[in-house]
Amino acid sequence: MTTLVPVLLAGGSGTRLWPTSRKSYPKQFVDLTGSGDSFLQSSLKRSAVMPNACPWIIVTGEDYRFLVAQQAKEADVSIGPILLEPSARNTAPAIALAAFEALALHDSPKLLVQTADHYIKDLNAFGKVISQAFQSTAPFVLFGVKPTHPETGYGYIECGEAQGAEFLVSSFKEKPDLETAEAYLKSGNYLWNSGMFMLDAQAYLDALKTFEPNMYKACEKAYQNASSDLDFKRVDSEAFGKSSSLSIDYAVMERIKNLHVIPYLGDWSDVGAWDAVAGLANQDEAGNAIQGDGVLLESSNTLIRAESRLVTGIGLENLVVIETRDAVLVADATKTQHVKDLVEVLKSQNRKEATEHQKMYRPWGSYETLVLGERFQVKQIVVNPGASLSLQMHHHRAEHWVVVSGTAEVQVDEGIQMLTEDQSVYIPIGSKHRLTNPGKLPLTLIEVQSGGYLGEDDIVRFDDVYGRG
């Protein structure tokens, strides 16, 4: 019996949505639409319209493993294994890992492959095309989105002969210029390439073995030598590193004959840049959209996203203004595809803002830098219920912890004490220490560091429940 196995690819960095999306906390984990759910959570919740779907297989990077697990738990969606890529190798190898896993768990699996950055509003329409694709006799079925405007930021699929509700794929087209996109729209014979697929797992691996044998061998060995770690499956790093980096389009889809596509007629966006976010937001009569605390006067077609303070504008036209605690982006709304280039410039200048937020997420919770001065730093630390930091020490800094809310179990050398609201503890340089939240509510505290070096690499771990060295 054929089984439907949903697969979610959640390893991207989303640099075109900087500064909200950064490598340390990319767009798939962010609520950019105001729905209350991140893209990852919205994606997982779409299992409600999938016919008899098995638990999700999620493929992500090592850095995001605990974020994925935490957000899946918050979404209250059943997931299976979380496969960890040791390095980014694009979509073709990631899907190969998912195919090997699906075949190990299920009989005759079909993979419903999605990336964790899609906006899909009409779930009924989406569920309908999933059912159609699952019932199709074709081993490879693409989901193409009916264009609503001449979009230059998407690839296109040219439809060939009709096969019932499906079409044969005549050709793939790269992202076109505006004139070409207008011609595609006028012809009515082209669909946006959504990057979503229904694949027979074995057929996909067979095709990969034919077209990219070295990639197949690398992924097969990486999966065979995988090791389990908590709820994660960590594939072999050395073997996976030998795989080439190719998208599924280039590795397989553009080489296959008798490839089918099903048109999806509902709302869809891959939310790849800020102009797409503006298009999804609630707009006033002048085309302005405000997320957060913002005020606009005499402005039009402008997006303001204010994450930490009031942002105002007068006489703005066709702009995006994105504010975070440590960085602000102001861009022409027609140039948002180039934000990625800006991030590369910041990287070349060794600006940590290019990749890191002031708020950093860890398996146990998060910390946020509030003040950074010469020889001192103030952080807010939040520890999840039942979570514990590693037993550690520092060579160059002392720490002073003040509990704001919740209950803290603190170990300093051989002593253990319980702290509650407004109580504090001092940790001298060189003392072994550990912080645990034994309660059922989040623990929030203020940490004051002092010393000659305050870098995060001044940590010697003696014991860690999350397997970090």
pLDDT digits (tens, 9 = 90+) for 75-124: 999 898 899 999 989 999 999 999 999 999 999 999 999 999 899 988 99
What's the mean pLDDT in 236-243? Answer: 95
Q: What domain count does the chain have?
A: 3
Long-range Cβ pairs for the range 162-168 (8 Å, 24+): 163/138, 163/260, 165/132, 165/262, 166/132, 166/136, 166/138, 166/141, 166/260, 166/261, 166/262, 167/260, 167/261, 167/262, 167/263, 168/258, 168/259, 168/260, 168/261
Q: Is residue 242 included in any domain, yes or no?
A: yes
User: Residue 380: what pLDDT?
Assistant: 98
Same-domain pairing of 340 and 373: no
H-state helical runs in 225-382 = 237-241, 248-251, 274-280, 339-348
Decide if pLDDT at 166 tops 70.
yes
Same-domain pairing of 170 and 37: yes
Same-domain pairing of 133 and 196: yes
Give the end of a domain, one of 245, 269, 293: 269
User: Residue 469: what pLDDT?
Assistant: 65
Same-domain pairing of 256 and 286: no
Task: State how far the Cα of 99 lies from the Cα of 105, in Å rounded to an integer.
Answer: 10
Q: Tell me how far apart the terminal alpha carbons of the chain are, to the nearest angstrom.
A: 44
User: Residue 282: what pLDDT?
Assistant: 92
User: Residue 51: what pLDDT?
Assistant: 85
Give the end of a domain, one of 298, 324, 352: 352
User: Residue 105: what pLDDT?
Assistant: 94
Q: What are phi and psi of 247, to 5 degrees?
A: -75, 160
User: Residue 319: what pLDDT?
Assistant: 98
Task: State how far the Cα of 202 lies from the Cα of 110, in Å rounded to an integer.
Answer: 9
Same-domain pairing of 193 and 255: yes
Q: Is residue 274 included in any domain, yes or no?
A: no
User: Residue 224: what pLDDT?
Assistant: 97
Q: Which amino acid is at 60?
A: T
Percentage helix, strand, coil, to 5, in the chain? 30, 40, 35
The 3-state DSSP class for residue 28 equals helix
Same-domain pairing of 328 and 236: no
Residue found under tokens 């994105």: 322
Decide if pLDDT at 229 tops 90.
no
Give the end of a domain, one of 352, 367, 389: 352
Residue 464 burial by Cβ neighbours in a 10 Å radius (0-12, 13-18, 19+): middle
Decide if pLDDT at 368 tops 80.
yes
Same-domain pairing of 69 and 189: yes
User: Residue 13: what pLDDT?
Assistant: 83
Show the domain range for 306: 282-352
User: Residue 236: what pLDDT?
Assistant: 96
Give the dihedral of Cα atoms 65, 268, 124, 31; nearest 10 deg: 40
The 3-state DSSP class for residue 44 equals helix
- pTM for the full model? 0.89
Consecutive H or E run containing 400: strand 397-405
CATH number, residue 445: 2.60.120.10
Q: Is residue 468 included in any domain, yes or no?
A: no
CB 110 within 8 A of CB 201: yes
pLDDT (tens digit, 9 = 90+) per residue, 288-312? Answer: 999 999 999 999 999 999 999 999 9
Query: Strand 303-314 and strand 289-297: pairing?
Result: parallel
